[in-house]
Amino acid sequence: MAGTDTARAGAGTGGDPGRREAAAVRANETTVPVLPCVSAEATLEFYRALGFEVTHEQTRPYLYLAFHWSGFDLHYGRASKGLDPDLENSGGCLVMVDAVAPYHDALTRAMRRAYGRVLAKGLPRITRHRPGASRFTLMDPSGNSLIFIQRDEPEKLEYGGSGELDGLARVLDGARILRDFKTDDRAAFRRIRSGLRRHGDTAPAADRALALAMLIELAVSLGEEEGVEEWRAQLGRTALTSRERGRVEGELRNASELRRWLGGGAAQADGG
């Protein structure tokens, strides 16, 4: 019977092995990442708190966990010996979606219900989602990153600052990439502070004002607001056109919204 089936398959494709292989491959694959798990208990608690369904739970004779949420699955196996979650480079998964804001909202609301607050520091945590941003990251207890990405995000990014810019404008472009795509607020914060020291005196007023506004927003994110009042005072002394002021005020509104998101209550106004 097996020989007959093989002969029929060969006859159906002209006896060409290459054609038989092509006929067996279809564009309907499903890939499921298997991420390292340091603590089964912490991983189960975290994903259950977010509303994920546990589809498989096994700790003996080996660890294997599986979760389902919305339309995707995550699987976990035992982490390698010596893996340090705090390095946050354990593993990762990209989740491509049509619009990221609803996902961020759903996960944030689940965190508030389960923990009474947004987990924005340490592990596990969720990064903020700025209005118009095309991605955010969910970090699990084992240091794995789930990066939710909008499908129409630009395919090419000038990482580290566009070569077409110079001075403080280039610094700001590089900081934007660090903040919005690499979700590295601290690196973005340091880059802008350094850029202001180097280029602040010669930069156009609009670039200087935008740098100050971005510093305020990043300081709120990092919980380091020691310089915020001085930066706001400098903003108040900067002459801007109505269009320039609108862009700066947008960053300040983001800082205000960020305070509310982190604290779950009313935000302090950050008018420039």
Q: Is 213 helix (H, G, I), strand (E, B) or coil?
A: helix
Class of domain 34-150: alpha beta
Specify the pLDDT at position 268.
39
pLDDT tens per residue across span 8-62: 445 555 567 767 676 678 888 889 999 999 999 999 999 999 999 999 999 999 9
Specify the pLDDT at position 190.
96
pLDDT tens per residue across span 166-192: 999 999 999 999 998 888 899 999 999
pLDDT tens per residue across span 206-222: 999 999 999 999 999 88
Task: Name the H helices within the chain.
Answer: 2-12, 17-24, 40-49, 101-115, 167-180, 185-199, 205-222, 228-236, 242-263
pLDDT tens per residue across span 31-40: 999 999 999 9
Q: What is the mean pLDDT of residues 261-269?
A: 57
pLDDT exceeds cutoff 80 at 137: yes
Q: What is the mean pLDDT of residues 96-108?
A: 97
Domain boundaries defined on the chain = 34-150, 167-263
Residue 159 burial (CB count, 10 A):
12
Percent of the chain with pLDDT over 90: 65
Whole-angstrom Cα distance, residue 74 to residue 97?
Answer: 16
Specify the pLDDT at position 40.
98
Q: Is 200 helix (H, G, I), strand (E, B) or coil?
A: coil
Specify the pLDDT at position 126.
96
Global confidence as pTM: 0.78
**Torsion angle in degrees (nearest 10) through CA of 210, 212, 217, 219:** 150
